[in-house]
Structure 1
Amino acid sequence: MQLGFVDTLVVFLSLGISLLIVVPLTGVLVRFRANYNPKALQLDAEGGAAPHTGPVVNSYFSMMARVWRIEGIAGLYKGLMPTTISTVFVTIVILIFLDTPKPRHGAYKAPDTRFLATFAYSVGMMLISLPTAVLTYRSITTPHRLGYFNLMKSLRVLLTSTERQKPWIIYLTPGLLAAETLHIALVTCILNPLRRVLLPTITPQLDITEISLWKAAVYFVIVACATIALAPLEVIATRLAIQRNHASTDYDAVAQEPESEGDGIPEYSGTDEDVIGLRHEGDPYTGLVDCAKNIVNEEGVMALYRAWWVTLLGGLGSAFV
């Protein structure tokens, strides 16, 4: 598809406005889901029982207020650069290689085709964007103030030496690909086909009388039920994405190396108070199921449903795109 200068300018201007709105909201969501808040007593260095001292945040908006109080507006825009790079790259690929009737921006919708082809397409897009998604999540959850244009220093903070030497190991993060693929399968192989059966395609020429209220109600119930499975997968994927990989005979394959790259890099908070707590790097999740079990055992089942309403609204919104 050939785009004129004005069309291209409009697309990227729209992207910029979208990022200004979406990045802070996504950053709060990632931190809320990543926050480690165990209910049980922890063992101190001497083996004695001690209560967990990390932040207790019980809602999305409480996390937003906490980020604003501790890190300010700069903290709300953590993850801006990797998000921008990923979004611009995907947009350029879509505009160049996909024949669409008009420019698209924001979240891209997979082409309407057979669900297996849609599944394969969605998995392919996930594999392309996974490294930047991992970097985005880690840049959001790190306490360090990373420069927008100091790429190498940022990578030393966000990635272990193993990940920098073998970048493909990010794809081997235990459980991460499984969580992402299962999420895609539920959406593309179940929700999308049911949406096509129950709801008409939304077009400017659509007559509202063509929409069956009972079919729409059935679809909304299906989305609500799907949220029961999708929301935990999103929480698990967040936890696994921020879990760094390190191969060493002295450490578990996914345990973080006790590196010092972050030394000397300023933090957002001028105090010892962190925005979120993270699970100890010496006791990593070893897979999707292990992550789910440990979250339930340590933090309670509702930790798997943090910001579940975001997942529900996303599913309902898909009925109108």
Structure 2
Amino acid sequence: MGIVDFVVLAGILTVSLGVSLLITVPLTGALVRLRANYNPRGLQLDAEGNIEPHTGPVVTSFIGMLRRVKRIEGWAGLYKGLMPTLLFSLVLTIFAVTVLDANSPSRAGRVDPPTAGVLGTLMYSLLSMLVSLPSAIITYRSITTPYKLPYFRPLYSLRILLTPTERKRPWVLYSTPGLLTAEMLHVAYTALLLSGLRSLLLPRPSSEDNTFSTFRFGFYLLAEILSTAIICPLEVIITKLAIQRNHAAPEYNSVEQEVEDDGLDGEEYTEYAGTEEDVIGLRHEKDPYLGFVDCAKRIIEEEGWTALYRAWWITMLGGIAGALPTAMA
């Protein structure tokens, strides 16, 4: 690839990335907020054991959350999470242009995983998940925080989003109770089961048997649609666990929470994104989820099983969109 080709390709990728972020960041923000919103369906107890009625926001639809964000926080609220998303996307774009075969990008606008079979796809997906997990955590927290985050003061923002424990020992993010388990289950189901089924039913165009079968494609599409029942709850659990901060000190285990000075003065916390109310309700940090199973169980007990299927149709549309390129190949 020559210098001119490289510059042209970089320019095209930059423009497409900018347009993509302008559209996807507000939609992703509304989705993350909707799934992260803590909305217990009944009475709860305060720290002294007294009955305390829940007074947080009740938002049950994706469009409703989008409108609520715009009403309370304005356009700035809609684009919360822009900077971490932009930085991580730039890293991936540069990696794609300089390291991978950028002359043959995928139809979805991202680099395709190596064609090394199901196990190769699984290992690739696991590695990608481990690399991107800290970025996903920071992005989710920047979206759900009630505080204003300046675009060009990353250190200040990290002091709000991460606890002192997480800043001193960043690897603690990987030990967030239940998060890695949920992510690995998500990757295993999508990269192992669904990818294996796709390889079996829908051979790649470069293979010898590249005859398109309407029956096989319909069967795979049905499998993608039915998989929403498994994938959507995993995505909701991942969202709720990702925004759960780790306060563990050396003398505590990974799930116990202690009061910890975050190094910020009180006046630095006075600038809220919303002037009158918070967009969503957040679970108290002194009552964390203790793991993957505990998170799923308590969501069902406190918020109802339907909370696990918030914006399920977006997950379903994502599965359908992933299957369509095969039909158009």
Aligned partners of 1:12, 1:162: CA distance in 2, in Å?
36
1:320 aligns with 2:297: no
2:20 maps to 1:15: no
- The 2-side partners of 1:71 and 1:257 are apart by 29
- Which runs of structure 2 are paired with 1:75-114 in the superposition (5 Å)? 75-103=77-105, 106-114=109-117
Measured after TM superposition, the shift of residue 70 of structure 1 is 0.3
Return the offset for 1:12.
1.1
The partner residue of 2:193 within 185, 190, 198 is: 190
Match of 2:37 among 20, 35, 38: 35
Pair 1:140–1:66, CA change in 2 (3 A): same
Number of positions where the alignment pairs a residue of Structure 1 with one of Structure 2: 315
CA distance in structure 2 between the partners assigned to 1:182 and 1:46 by the alignment:
37
Q: What is the 5 A alignment of 1:126-165?
A: 126-165=129-168
- Give 2:70's match in structure 1, choosing from 47, 58, 68: 68
Tell me, yes or no, if the aligned pair for 1:79 and 1:136 is still in contact at 8 Å.
Answer: yes
Q: Give the whole-Å Cα distance in 2 for the aligned partners of 1:101 and 1:114.
A: 22
SS at match of 2:227: helix
Measure the CA separation in 1 of the matches of 2:122 and 2:253: 36
Offset, 1:196? 2.7
CA contact (8 A) 2:175 2:254 kept: no
Distance 1:111 1:36 in 2: 39
Per the alignment, residue 57 of structure 2 pairs with 55
Partner of 2:169: 166
CA drift at 1:320: 2.7
Specify the code of the residue in structure 2 equivalent to 1:92. I
Are the aligned partners of 1:32 and 1:306 in contact in 2 as well (CA < 8 Å)? yes
Query: Is contact 2:102-2:111 (8 Å) kept?
Result: no
* 8 Å Cα contact 1:199/1:319 also seen in 2: no
1:200 shift after superposition: 5.0
Aligned equivalents of 1:297, 1:50: Cα separation in 2: 17
Aligned-pair CA distance for 1:227:
1.2
Q: Counterparts of 2:265 and 2:283 in 1: how far apart (Å)? A: 18
Aligned counterparts of 2:50 and 2:192: Cα–Cα separation in 1: 50
Q: Distance in 1 between matches of 2:58 and 2:76?
A: 22
Aligned CA distance change for structure 1 residues 179 and 252 (closer, same or farther; 3 Å): closer
Instruction: Name 1:301's counterpart in structure 2.
Output: 305
User: What is the CA deviation profile of residues 94-149 of structure 1, one whole-angstrom value per residue up to 9, with x for unaligned ones?
Assistant: 22222243356844432232111111111111111111111000000001111011
The 5 A counterparts of 1:173-252 are 173-199=176-202, 201=204, 210-248=211-249, 249=251
Deviations 1:166-207 (A, max 9, x none): 01110111111111111111111111222233235479xxx9
Sequence identity, in percent?
51
Matched, 1:285 2:289: yes
Q: Deviations over 1:68-111 (max 9, x none)?
A: 11001100000000000111101211222222433568444322
Where structure 2 has 5 or more consecutive residues not aligned to the other structure, the ranges are none
- The residue correspondences of 1:119-130 to structure 2 (distance < 5 A) are 119-130=122-133
Q: In the alignment, is the contact (CA less than 8 A) between 1:244 and 1:256 conserved in 2?
A: no
Given candidates 258, 268, 279, the residue that maps to 2:273 is 268
CA displacement, residues 236-286 of structure 1 (integer Å, 9 cap, x when unaligned): 000111001111357973537454637324111111x11000111101111
Structure 1 ranges of 4+ moved more than 6 A: none
Tell me if structure 1 keeps the 8 A contact 2:177–2:255: no
Contact 1:36 1:278 in 2 (8 A): yes
Change (3 A) 1:251 1:278: farther
Q: Tell me if structure 1 keeps the 8 A contact 2:10–2:97.
A: no
Distance in 2 (CA, whole Å) between partners of 1:4 and 1:90 is 16
Q: 1:153 to 1:106 in 2, by over 3 A?
A: farther
Partner-residue secondary structure (3-state), 1:4:
helix
1:191–1:229: structure 2 CA closer, same or farther, 3 Å change rule?
same
Structure 1 unaligned segments of length 5 or more: list them: none
What TM-score do the two structures reach when normalised by structure 2? 0.89
Structure 1 stretch 217-226 or stretch 32-41: which is displaced more?
A: 217-226
* d(CA) in 2 for partners of 1:62, 1:108: 33
Please, what is the CA RMSD of the aligned residues? 2.1
Q: Go from structure 1 to structure 2 and tell me whether the alpha carbon gap of 1:112 and 1:250 turns closer, same or farther (over 3 Å shift).
A: closer
